[in-house]
Structure 1
Amino acid sequence: MKHISKFLFFTFIISFCISFIYSPYAEAVQSILDKDSQTSLQNESEVLHASSSELTAEKSSEDLKAVPLLRTLVITKGKAQPVQLSTGQIITLTAHVKDRALDRSITAVQLDTALSHGDRYKDNQSGAPIAWDKNSSKVAVVLSGDRKSAVTTYVQTNPKGKWTLFKWKY
């Protein structure tokens, strides 16, 4: 009984400390996100409202306004989305790359770092262009042949043997 009461006491203390530390942080983050979303809506002259039935196969990803990738901070599942990299380049994140990023805990910042500042390779088997951040996150992003959209992403600790350094441009 003595051990159980000690366990419950320390569990209570730890949970209290975590909630004490996390609560102001969560409120601050929410406040920043609320201010950012209000500011972006005020600055936008046009807001796109579309349901899935309104989007047709005839509309391409260029019809949608590109969102700066670093401002999206949280990647969500769903449709393809054009984004602007920190270098100014606009590419499309396919639904698949967004799903894989979520599955593999890859953030928008890590994607942006790999795409904007990562080493550039070509896969010798498929010919696909690859952007790989060798410095921090080790995130690899595979792009379409025309380099206008990201196809998939994963964490890769070392360059694959079938990759060749290739100085491709967007």
Structure 2
Amino acid sequence: MKISDANKSMMPGINGTKTGKSKVKTAFQEVMNQVAERGGKEAGVPASVNTAHASPNITPPQLIRDLEGQDGIATRYRLMKEVENTLDLAGFYTQKLGDPGVKTTSLEPLVNHLEAKMEDLRFLQNNGKIDEELKAIVSDLDITLGTEVARFRRGDYS
């Protein structure tokens, strides 16, 4: 079978040499060469950092961004997601509780899960740096769910 030239690539430089080295210089390659020639001095690396023997995959300590406060943001996000999931679970519990075809005794595992969610919320609330507004929401949710769990355990819905 003869291979024809009909399947040539439309990209410049692709069909050129077979050595694997392209003769076409791209703008990106030129920029990378300029940065390499300057030794990274204009790319944000402080002059005090010797990059001559540094691996390109290792960031000098001076370039590492200060992550102070990132833990608080992550805790807040996690707490907000936990509140959202707990509210969804409480809505599901309310639907099942209002369904006349569902026996209240079958809701025991769901109530146990609500209690576990309450414990998770308390843990995140007490161990994280969160706003007062978010603390108030979590506190209200904790009280509401605690009341519902107590009513269920007391037998108000039987």
Normalising by structure 2, we get a TM-score of: 0.25
Identify the structure with the greater strand proportion: 1
Identify the structure with the greater helix proportion: 2
The structure having more radius of gyration, on CA atoms, is: 2
Normalising by structure 1, we get a TM-score of: 0.24
